[in-house]
């Protein structure tokens, strides 16, 4: 954690959720249906409880979508990845299904989450909690010694997680259950670079309760363990996309290749920020070499977001999409690993389960696919609106009494007559009047900090 900003007292987060249209309570019929299905969980015939699976999530998480086991084989590695079988609890056309389509995804706020599914399922009967017998969609993915996929198996199975681990504790010392995670994770990262994947890894602003009361906001980068664990999810998503494309039906997470004009603009920016761009290197290779903790690297990474424009969900039934790939992943990719928290993953998993079994996906499932992109786009907008509003409110609240003060800052980008700066000592990122030079260290004066409008603005200090 670095550059922590703290605010004491209450924040009106309910107002933010209401403005964004975040659903509040679950309807009575949805809760009643959840109680019924949670009381008698469906368990598949295939028994995989001998697999010593573990989950790894943020501390305190209860909506556990994935459990993993990693093993060495004679030819390379075997990745066993159990995904919560939400489809077993949520039939198409049920009340829970209709409500999940309305919500789209779980919305996280500092004071709690607004779940996609009733807690009886998302934090109970469907969650891969330790020691509990659970239905799962079990992916078995074999890799060769270089981390390339050699075989994929997917089936419904009963599983039992052995332990619930968290990123903080695993980051201190990788436990025996995950001893291969660094090795496999680094291999998969190397293969991603070979594919031209662009993984920015820029620090994100997060608001959370402070240990001694109030709230704090900090810039957090992705730890090595989080990065390696993310590679297991990305691997599974690539395998899911391959199944869908081979089967002629599915819903992909797509992102067009980086626009050549954006790449050229980034290449021209690199020398001014001291970023080396070797001859023949692609943008993904350059990005992978940078340290987000360095201000000039951070400014370059912020500008590199322009390479990843146009993410969407693309449903198809028949010929594949004209552009099936994901520029950030460097390959076709599908969301299937977070069905407790994201609507589309349940549908993607059901399609893959059918195709892996050599069957055609059910007609009702196929009929639902074309509507998913719009549902997910709406829920993405709502989630991003909430996240940005929460950060804006905290920033404006803590700075409200400091208008006129001067701060050290680093310029992230410049557009027209305004720039974006990040303060050197506080976790604040905001607009600044005047066109400045990206990567430059500057002194800025706080001109506006209004909690009512959640607005923070700076201007060059001129001193």
Number of H helices, E strands in the chain: 13, 20
Helix locations, 104-157, DSSP H:
119-120
pLDDT per residue, tens digit, the chain (463 aa), is 345 667 666 778 999 999 999 998 999 999 999 999 999 988 999 999 999 999 999 888 999 999 999 999 999 999 999 999 999 999 999 999 999 999 999 999 988 899 999 999 999 999 999 999 999 999 999 999 999 999 999 999 999 999 999 988 886 677 888 999 999 999 999 999 999 999 887 777 788 777 777 777 777 778 889 999 999 999 999 999 999 999 999 999 999 998 999 899 888 888 877 889 999 899 999 988 888 777 778 778 878 888 999 999 999 999 999 999 999 999 999 999 999 999 999 999 999 999 999 999 999 999 999 999 999 999 999 999 999 999 999 899 889 989 999 999 888 888 878 899 888 788 788 999 988 888 888 999 999 999 999 999 999 997 6
H/E segment holding residue 461: none
Helix locations, 248-281, DSSP H:
260-269
User: Which pLDDT value is given to residue 3?
Assistant: 53
User: Which pLDDT value is given to residue 2?
Assistant: 47
User: Which pLDDT value is given to residue 8?
Assistant: 65
Tokens of residue 388, six digits: 């940005």
- CB neighbours of residue 429 within 10 Å: 20
DSSP-derived secondary structure letter, 13: H
User: Which pLDDT value is given to residue 452?
Assistant: 92
Residue pair 1/74 in contact by the 8 Å Cβ criterion: no
H/E segment holding residue 131: none
DSSP string, 52-118: --EEEESTT-----EEEEEEE-SSEEEEEEEEE-GGGTS-TTSHHHHHHHHH-B-EEETTEEE-SS-
Residue pair 252/324 in contact by the 8 Å Cβ criterion: yes
Q: Residue 204: phi, psi to the nearest 5? A: -110, 150
Q: What is the spatial order of strands in the sheet that 204-209 belongs to?
A: 2-7, 215-220, 204-209
User: Which pLDDT value is given to residue 59?
Assistant: 84
User: Which pLDDT value is given to residue 177?
Assistant: 83
Dist. CA 190–CA 184, nearest whole Å: 10
User: Which pLDDT value is given to residue 463?
Assistant: 60
User: Which pLDDT value is given to residue 1?
Assistant: 37
Q: Residue 76: phi, psi to the nearest 5? A: 165, -105
Dist. CA 441–CA 338, nearest whole Å: 40
Strands 455-460 and 429-433: parallel
- CB neighbours of residue 274 within 10 Å: 11
Residue pair 223/409 in contact by the 8 Å Cβ criterion: no
């Amino acid at each position: 954690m670095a550059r922590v900003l703290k605010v004491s007292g209450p924040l009106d987060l309910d107002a933010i959720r209401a403005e964004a249209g975040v659903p509040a309570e679950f309807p009575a019929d949805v809760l009643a249906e959840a109680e019924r299905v949670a009381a008698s969980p469906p368990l598949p015939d295939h028994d995989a409880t001998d697999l010593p699976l573990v989950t790894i999530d943020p501390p305190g998480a209860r909506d556990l979508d994935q459990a993993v086991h990693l093993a060495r084989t004679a030819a390379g590695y075997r990745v066993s990845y159990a995904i919560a079988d939400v489809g077993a609890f949520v039939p198409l056309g049920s009340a829970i299904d209709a409500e999940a389509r309305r919500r789209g995804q779980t919305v996280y706020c500092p004071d709690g989450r607004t779940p996609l599914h009733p807690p009886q399922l998302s934090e109970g009967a469907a969650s891969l909690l330790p020691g509990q017998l659970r239905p799962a969609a079990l992916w078995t993915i074999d890799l060769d010694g270089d981390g390339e996929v050699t075989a994929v198996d997917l089936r419904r199975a009963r599983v039992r997680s052995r332990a619930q681990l968290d990123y903080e504790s695993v980051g201190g010392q990788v436990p025996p259950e995950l001893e291969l995670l660094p090795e496999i994770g680094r291999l998969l990262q190397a293969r991603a670079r070979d594919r031209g994947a662009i993984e920015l890894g820029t620090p994100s602003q997060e608001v959370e309760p402070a240990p001694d009361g109030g709230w704090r906001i900090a810039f957090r980068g992705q730890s090595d363990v989080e990065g390696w664990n993310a590679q297991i999810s990305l691997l599974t998503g690539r395998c899911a996309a391959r199944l869908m494309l081979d089967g002629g039906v599915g819903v992909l997470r797509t992102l067009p290749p980086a626009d050549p004009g954006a790449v050229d603009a980034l290449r021209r920016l690199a020398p001014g920020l001291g970023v080396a761009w070797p001859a023949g290197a692609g943008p993904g290779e350059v990005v992978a070499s940078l340290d987000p903790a360095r201000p000039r690297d951070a400014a370059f990474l912020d500008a590199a977001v322009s390479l990843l424009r146009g993410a969407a969900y693309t449903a198809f039934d028949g010929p594949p999409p004209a552009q099936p790939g994901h520029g950030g992943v460097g390959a076709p990719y599908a969301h299937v690993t977070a069905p407790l928290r994201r609507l589309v993953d349940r549908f993607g998993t059901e399609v893959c389960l059918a195709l892996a079994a050599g069957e055609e996906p059910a007609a009702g499932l196929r009929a639902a696919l074309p509507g998913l992109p719009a549902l997910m786009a709406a829920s993405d907008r709502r989630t991003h609106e909430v996240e940005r509003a929460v950060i804006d409110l905290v920033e404006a609240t803590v700075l409200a009494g400091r208008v006129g003060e001067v701060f050290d800052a680093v310029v992230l980008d410049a557009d027209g007559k305004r720039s974006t700066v990040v303060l050197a000592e506080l976790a604040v990122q905001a607009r600044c009047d005047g066109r400045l030079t990206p990567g430059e260290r500057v002194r800025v004066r706080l001109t506006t900090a209004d909690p009512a409008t959640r607005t923070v603005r700076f201007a060059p200090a001129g001193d």
